[in-house]
Chain A
Amino acid sequence: MAQVSLEGIRKVYPNGFQAVQTTSFTIQDGEFVVLVGPSGCGKSTLLRMIAGLEEITEGTLKIGDRVVNDVDPADRDIAMVFQNYALYPHMTVRKNIGYGLKNRGNPASEIAAKVEDAAKMLNLTEYLDRKPAQLSGGQRQRVAMGRAVVRDPALFLFDEPLSNLDAKLRNQMRIEIKALQRRLGTTAVYVTHDQVEAMTMADRIIVLNAGRIEQIGTPSEIYHNPASTFVASFMGAPPMNLIRAQVEQGEVRINGYDGLMPAPASQNGPVTLGIRPEDVVLDDHGNIPFRVDILEELGAHRLLHGVVGEQPFSVMIGKDDAASTGTATLNLKPEALRLFDPETGRKL
């Protein structure tokens, strides 16, 4: 168990591409941190730098009290779970799990006992003598977990470990990984492009975009108070509505519609107005006209897609609420309004 700190970490590839811009953050002991962002945002590069699989161009990386920039991956006291599991195809499950322990000079009896324990914890006992090729995707995933758990490292690193599983198994493994990390109390860094995984698993989320940190915060902070339009549209499904608007003397005016609302920002001029679809209320006496084009049935609730003042907009309503395509009116919860700078996308 250890605290991990990145101080001014930067990654530039030999061809000049800057994959990660100067980045600093600290992960607390025992914390589960999720790095999330679209493809190519630098999240995997960041994780691989922590693992030691990628050279750090600039900055200092500490695991515990130790600077590990030049420490061999095997000596960083980390364990990593890879996207395609990266099991050794020629070794049995038992050997796969025990390989890291064997190379660290543990006595054979101790390795055997630890492997048995890990296998029991992950329901792999009956598969110990099989080769990875004889296992299903979910079982391989468990072996990869076992290989990480058995070493009792200071830090777990997960590189999109669930993206090769089907949806049902993914939900199940998500809960199992989280529960396992809780039980062991090991610090974990988890990379994913799936915002649902990020929201459900993380103690803290780090949202990355184009090699830069957009926001660091708890899932609730990220969801309710996105620091930029990027975070607002990337996190949460359905994404936050973002529409063009004007602030004039403490009031917001949505482009293409004349109604006014009290503005949460004092700055005058054009803004981007953000509101979550569930913070919008359909109301016959509402003061904003809304044209419903598509009605999407999601089971637990329904999603109405349409247009407000000629800008795309969506509204989430309960499964029992009446709705139909055509015109409607709505109200926005004033406390849920967020304003962003239309140029930079940053929160105002």
Chain B
Amino acid sequence: MKRAGFDTIWLPVALLMPQLLIIAIFFYWPAGWALQSSFYLQDPFGFGSTFVGGENYTSLLGNDQYKRVAVFTILYSVLVTFFSLAIALLLAIKADKVIRGAKTYRTLLMWVYAIAPPVAGFLGILFFDQSTGPLTKFFQMFGWDFKLGVDYNATATAMVIVAVWKQIPVNFIFFLSGLQSIPRSVREAAMIDNRSATGRFWQVTFPLLAPTAFFLLIINITYALFDTFGVIDALMKGEPGNNPMTLVYKVYLDGFRGNDLGGSSAQSVILMVLVLILTVFQFRLMERRIHYT
């Protein structure tokens, strides 16, 4: 490979500077503040703060409500990730087989992607409306008195459904392009080697889709953990009460509505560590386990 060099050190530094500045201002600086304030107990009225050491962390770990939210977050992330990946993969496989009108079909499936999360949340509210929501009526047919924002399970179900619905288009596009990048002749060779379409899918198509699937897995876990904030906020209608929430939402709730900046900072530091672990895991696995053609 050809290696190009710079005459002075200043040009590369100047070229990198805008990016480094953005990272420093919008990530390292607030992250540093969060880390610092997680060791302090803030006065709710902003008059001062007291150093409390690791007390914010220890009190979190002993807090039953925090544990409940953590368990819900895990369950929520697993469900959202699983269903948004599975449904998108199914749609992609079907769309891949469509020959006529393929473009229209794909565009229609893509549209949902253009909807902002809070808007998706509000659409969700319409769908789950107490008296007129079609999905509420659907659940009532099965004898479930669906009460969004009142019943814990109902709200949780709505959150999962809206979050999954919102994420499917992205996954769909990636899966579809992944499928289409598998050489046609490889799939045809498999048709001659293996009679069973299911067998062909799991033994040939899916392994070749693995790089895409793994990338999407990470993206979707991140999405479920962090980016569903808008959906949750909209569906909760600003009344946390007995409603389920994720860890990220709790950071916001405790910090900005409960005015407990120290505890909230401690929670966000824990989330940062979680992201760090996820990232390391992602790069490690990306390098080893995945076969590229």
A interacts with B = yes
Interface, chain A (partner B; CB < 8 A)? 14, 51-53, 72-75, 78-80, 82-84, 86-90, 99-100, 103, 131, 133, 147
Name which of B83-91, B114-122, B184-192, B220-228 contacts chain A. Answer: B184-192
Contact A78 B207 (CB under 8 A): no
A72 touches B186 (CB 8 A): no
Having A52-B192, A72-B195, A86-B185, one finds 5 other A-B pairs with CB under 8 Å, namely: A74-B195, A78-B192, A89-B293, A100-B193, A133-B292
Which chain B residues (171-195) contact chain A, with CB distance < 8 Å? Answer: 183, 185-186, 188-195
**Which of chain B's residues 184-242 have a Cβ closer than 8 Å to chain A?**
185-186, 188-196, 199, 203-204, 207-208, 210
Which residues of A have CB within 8 Å of B186? Answer: 86-89
Chain A's nearest CB lies how many Å from the CB of B285?
A: 15
CA distance A262 to B277 in the complex (A): 91
Query: A residues within 8 A CB of B183?
Result: 84, 86
Q: Is the CB of A103 within 8 A of B207?
A: no
CB atoms of A74 and B207 under 8 A apart: no
- Per the bound structure, the CA–CA distance linking A80 and B190 in Å amounts to 10
B192 touches A89 (CB 8 A): no
Q: Name the prevailing secondary structure of the B interface residues.
A: helix
A99 to B190, CA, bound (A): 9
Contacts of A75 in B (CB 8 A): 195
CB contacts (< 8 Å) of B194 on chain A: these are 74, 99-100, 103
Shortest beta-carbon distance from A106 to chain B in Å: 12
**Which residues on the A side are within 8 Å of B103 (C-beta)?**
none
CB pair A84 B195 closer than 8 Å: no
Q: Given the known inter-chain contacts A88-B204, A89-B293, please indicate yes or no for A74 contacting B193, CB distance below 8 A.
A: yes
Q: Which residue of the partner chain B has the closest CB to A99?
A: B193
CB contact between B191 and one of A53, A131, A147 (< 8 Å): that residue: A53
Q: Could you tell me if B191 and A73 are in contact, using CB atoms closer than 8 angstroms?
A: yes
Give Cα A48 to B278, complex, Å: 46
B79: shortest Cβ distance to chain A, in Å?
29
From A14, A74, A133, B192 is in contact (CB under 8 Å) with A74
B193 in contact with A103 (CB, 8 Å): yes
Contact A100 B192 (CB under 8 A): yes
Cβ distance B35 to chain A, nearest Cβ, rounded Å: 43
Cβ-based interface call for B291 (8 A): yes
CB-based nearest A residue for B206: A90
Give the chain B neighbours of A78 by CB distance below 8 A.
192
**B binding-site residues for A, Cβ under 8 Å:** 99-100, 183, 185-186, 188-196, 199, 203-204, 207-208, 210, 291-293
Cross-chain pairs A/B with CB under 8 angstroms, 10 sampled: A14-B99, A53-B188, A75-B195, A79-B192, A80-B188, A86-B188, A89-B292, A99-B190, A103-B195, A133-B293
Given contacts A90-B208, A103-B199, contact A82 B189 (CB under 8 A): yes
With A88-B204, A89-B293, A90-B208: A51-B192 Cβ-Cβ less than 8 Å:
yes
- The CA of A83 and the CA of B183, in the complex, are separated in Å by 12
Contact B195 A80 (CB under 8 A): no
Residues of B within 8 A of A103 (CB): 193-196, 199
Please give the distance in Å from B50's CB to the nearest CB on chain A. 58
A82 and B188 form a contact (CB under 8 A): yes
Q: A103-B194, A103-B196 are known contacts. Are A80 and B291 too (CB-CB below 8 A)?
A: no
Asked, given contacts A84-B185, A103-B199, A131-B291, whether A89 binds B191 with beta carbons under 8 Å apart, the answer is: no
Closest residue of chain B to A88, judged by CB? Answer: B204
Which residue of chain A lies nearest to B193 when distances are taken between CB atoms in the complex? A100
A157–chain B nearest beta-carbon distance, Å: 9
The smallest beta-carbon distance between B185 and chain A, in angstroms, is 4
Residues of B within 8 A of A14 (CB): 99-100
Chain A residues lying within 8 Å of B199, measured Cβ to Cβ, are 103
Closest chain A residue, CB of each to CB of B189: A86
Residue of A nearest to B203 (CB): A99
- Write out the residue numbers on chain B whose beta carbons fall within 8 Å of the beta carbon of A86: 183, 185-186, 188-189
Name the residue among A52, A87, A90 with the largest chain B CB count within 10 angstroms: A90
The 6 closest A-B pairs by CB, nearest first: A86-B185, A74-B195, A100-B193, A86-B189, A90-B291, A89-B293
Closest chain-A Cβ to B29's Cβ sits at a distance in Å of 44
- Count chain A CB atoms within 10 A of each CB in B183, B186, B193 and give the residue with the most: B193
Q: A51 vs B186: C-alpha distance in the bound complex, in angstroms?
A: 14
Q: Is the CB of A80 within 8 A of B292?
A: no
